[in-house]
Structure 1
Amino acid sequence: MSPQQKALILPEKQGNFKVGSRSIPSPGIGQLLVKVHSAALNPVDYKIQDDGIFVTHYPAVLGVDIAGIVEELGEGVENFRKGDKVLAHGNPSIIDQGAFQQYSLTVATSTAKIPSSQSFDSAATVPQGLDTAIAGLYGKHLGAGIAPPWAKTASDLEPKYPIVILGGSSSVGSYTIQLARLSGFYPIITTASPNNEDLVKDYGATHFFDRHLSGRQLMAAISEVTDSPIRIVYDAISLPETQSVGWGLLAQNGILVLTLPPSVKEDEGKGRKAVSTIGSPHVPYDEEIFRSSWAMIEKWLSEGTIQPNNYEILPNGLEGIIGGLERMRMEQVSGTKLVAHPQETK
């Protein structure tokens, strides 16, 4: 194996991406070296570039969604072997763990085997979206803190109550719908563009409403579906206008889960809370939630309990990521994950 690899490098804060060469790293304790066959794109990737957030050391390699083959095992890794097909949640704040390169280090506790029923491309759509949904629903520190369904006992079972998911066709929204189904929420109400109605219902939404409805219109529509109080709204979009809609739907003491910082003011509510979640197993919050959920991912994918996102393959390997991120900036991607093939870089 050549000691050099190709990577999409961000040379400086708020700089421009360029394809270059860097050394292939060696795995440390609890790590794996993965040959990256598929890397999916996320909005956070262009937000890091545009706003200079999250990453403090440059040059940097961004990207968090990894799928590939195990090339080498670090000390203490017991559940994997060389040649395993895996998916993993990368870490763009550490250059060796970014997804947008041909070889990446992954952490064993946030790596899972890919079942034979799934491809590298489909598996690559899972990590960031699923982890953000998990953190927002089950995280005790930065989430709604409900009991995760894979850890429930009979005493944890809760009566069915509704949940509203704004942006159900987004990656985070789609996994939130699926986890809400696992957790026994009913009804599972979501908003999306009309052309994505069938998609969100396939994921498990019981009721769909057009995302262009005003807050008042949506509240009226939901009141026709359920007269139970809305205790949880998961806003997978989290723009100021969607936050305002979600906030207005919440019952007293309800919680609005966000993927961006809150723009609503809690003191305007009656015991309502807004929490901005962080869907990363690499931050010191809710580590046990992530550890236990990653232990379930292979089983969920194998059984079809969790369906990966629809995806589109970008051309030209790592080079294609630049155009893909621009399309995401321009809001030209809907209901689909963009996936690059680093090994196809020329």
Structure 2
Amino acid sequence: MSLPTQQKALILPSYGPGAAFQLSTRAVPKPGAGQVLIRNTAAALNPLDFAIRNIGIFVTEWPAVVGYDGAGTIVALGPDVQGWKVGDVVVYQGFWPADTGVYQEYTLAPADLVAKIPKNVSVEEASTLSIALATATCALYTAPGPHTLGFTAPWEEGGAGKYKGQAALVIGGSSSVGQLTLQILKLSGFSPIITTASASNEAYCRAAGATHFIDYHTTPYSALKSKVEEILDGKTPLPLVFDAISVDESQKAAWDILKPGGKLVVTLPPLIEGAQPGVETKDGKTLVMAHGSFGAEENLKVSREVFKLLTGWLESGVVKPNRVEVIPGGLNGVVPGLERLETKGVSGVKLVVRHAETA
């Protein structure tokens, strides 16, 4: 297959006040050892994208190509890559270097961190998975640290259903992270699984694994503890709260709900006074800040296992992708889509663009 030397890409020249994405061209990268080159079909938008534009988090080289949830077709293999062939349709996660960002036509990815998309899942649906799945699985199952808790993974011996009879609370169950967390907690056997979201998303959350639902419009964070205690009735331990919203009020409510020995995962910088990530506090609680990157060194063991299992999970329906809203215009649709995300104009769906629609 003859590949072009140049490609369309959404470039971010710098970050900070006034920084703006620009549709431009850049060279098509060539896969090195252990890499595949993917022709992108779809990319999902994330709040991380505008956070990088605003404050430059994680990215160290500029101009940058962001976008970290992708899916497409393998078009070239690195010299030592086995187990993949040109034409395989895969889901993958983008990373910080520009050649590995998703908002461009061609992206490099590690060959051991991609998974084939089964026929029962669309490419657009698959593109919504990676960051949310990484946030859930790595935070829960990577060995304990500032970002991770070290629960026994469901694929490990004795891990499937291990936490039956232990409750978990997911704040923000209709969010992308919340949806994947609900599904993964169900795999681990947590029960009951309580979640919060808008009433319009109750069925969506229950389909993902929630056994009990709390409408945050009628139960504010100030009343969340009493509502959770009412559900548990003093009979079931609650070892885990996963806060997929992680604003000040939700973090404080989550921390207040936990008893000694309880663990809290937050997805934004922690706001709990006196809690150092990964360190048990004097009252026996532990907080970690999830790092939703499959490519982070600390997460690689878990990440490789997840990608080995992901095709089967999707095929069987054990893991389901997010609901999708496709934004027209290809890469030109990213900026208006991010504006909607930044102004909280999205609920219960993942915004996706199709690269082929880029004018």
TM range (shorter): over 0.9
Q: Which residue of 2 aligns with 1:2?
A: 4
Q: Which residue of 2 aligns with 1:204?
A: 209
Of 271, 274, 286, which aligns to 2:299? 286
Distance 1:137 1:178 in 2: 12
CA RMSD of aligned residues (A): 1.5
Q: Which residue of 2 aligns with 1:118?
A: 121
- TM-superposed CA distance for 1:159, in Å, is 4.5
Q: What does the per-residue CA deviation read over 1:53-76, in whole Å, with 9 as the maximum and x for residues that have no partner?
A: 111110100011110001000022
Q: Which residue of 2 aligns with 1:243?
A: 251
> Which secondary structure state, in structure 2, belongs to the residue aligned with residue 125 of structure 1?
coil
1:305 aligns with 2:318: yes
Distance 1:96 1:343 in 2: 19
Amino acid at match of 1:3: T
Q: Which residue of 1 aligns with 2:351?
A: 338
Q: Which residue of 2 aligns with 1:153?
A: 158
Distance 1:50 1:290 in 2: 28
Determine if contact 1:46/1:325 at 8 Å carries over to the other structure: yes
Distance change >3 Å, CA 168–CA 156, structure 1 → 2: closer
> Which secondary structure state, in structure 2, belongs to the residue aligned with residue 285 of structure 1?
helix
Determine if contact 1:32/1:108 at 8 Å carries over to the other structure: yes
> Which secondary structure state, in structure 2, belongs to the residue aligned with residue 318 of structure 1?
helix
Q: What does the per-residue CA deviation read over 1:2-38, in whole Å, with 9 as the maximum and x for residues that have no partner?
A: 2110000001123210100011110011111000000
> Which secondary structure state, in structure 1, belongs to the residue aligned with residue 298 of structure 2?
coil
Amino acid at match of 1:171: S
Of 119, 126, 131, which aligns to 1:128? 131
Distance 2:316 2:142 in 1: 24
> Which secondary structure state, in structure 1, belongs to the residue aligned with residue 330 of structure 2?
coil
Q: What does the per-residue CA deviation read over 1:228-247, in whole Å, with 9 as the maximum and x for residues that have no partner?
A: 23211000111111101111
Q: What does the per-residue CA deviation read over 1:200-236, in whole Å, with 9 as the maximum and x for residues that have no partner?
A: 0111100000124234422222222212232110001
Distance 1:215 1:229 in 2: 20
What pairs with 1:1-346 in structure 2 (closer than 5 Å)?
Answer: 1-14=3-16, 15-91=19-95, 93-140=96-143, 141=145, 142-153=147-158, 157-212=162-217, 213-226=219-232, 227=234, 228-266=236-274, 270-346=283-359
Determine if contact 2:177/2:244 at 8 Å carries over to the other structure: yes
> Which secondary structure state, in structure 2, belongs to the residue aligned with residue 128 of structure 1?
helix
> Which secondary structure state, in structure 1, belongs to the residue aligned with residue 75 of structure 2?
strand
Deviates more, 1:127-136 or 1:152-161: 152-161
Determine if contact 1:61/1:98 at 8 Å carries over to the other structure: yes
Distance 2:67 2:159 in 1: 39
Distance change >3 Å, CA 262–CA 76, structure 1 → 2: same
> Which secondary structure state, in structure 1, belongs to the residue aligned with residue 99 of structure 2?
helix
Determine if contact 1:215/1:248 at 8 Å carries over to the other structure: no
Distance 2:159 2:197 in 1: 34
Distance change >3 Å, CA 31–CA 333, structure 1 → 2: same
- TM-superposed CA distance for 1:343, in Å, is 1.9
Distance change >3 Å, CA 159–CA 340, structure 1 → 2: closer
Distance 1:173 1:46 in 2: 20
Q: What does the per-residue CA deviation read over 1:288-323, in whole Å, with 9 as the maximum and x for residues that have no partner?
A: 011111110011001111010001111111010000
Distance 1:24 1:286 in 2: 28
Deviates more, 1:278-287 or 1:26-35: 278-287
Determine if contact 2:324/2:349 at 8 Å carries over to the other structure: yes
Distance 2:116 2:164 in 1: 34
Q: What does the per-residue CA deviation read over 1:239-262, in whole Å, with 9 as the maximum and x for residues that have no partner?
A: 111101111111112111011111
- TM-superposed CA distance for 1:274, in Å, is 1.2
Determine if contact 1:238/1:260 at 8 Å carries over to the other structure: yes
Distance 1:286 1:16 in 2: 31
Gapped runs of 5+ residues in structure 1?
A: none
> Which secondary structure state, in structure 2, belongs to the residue aligned with residue 35 of structure 1?
strand
> Which secondary structure state, in structure 1, belongs to the residue aligned with residue 297 of structure 2?
coil
Q: What does the per-residue CA deviation read over 1:82-126, in whole Å, with 9 as the maximum and x for residues that have no partner?
A: 0000000111x2000000001111111211101111111010011
- TM-superposed CA distance for 1:276, in Å, is 0.4
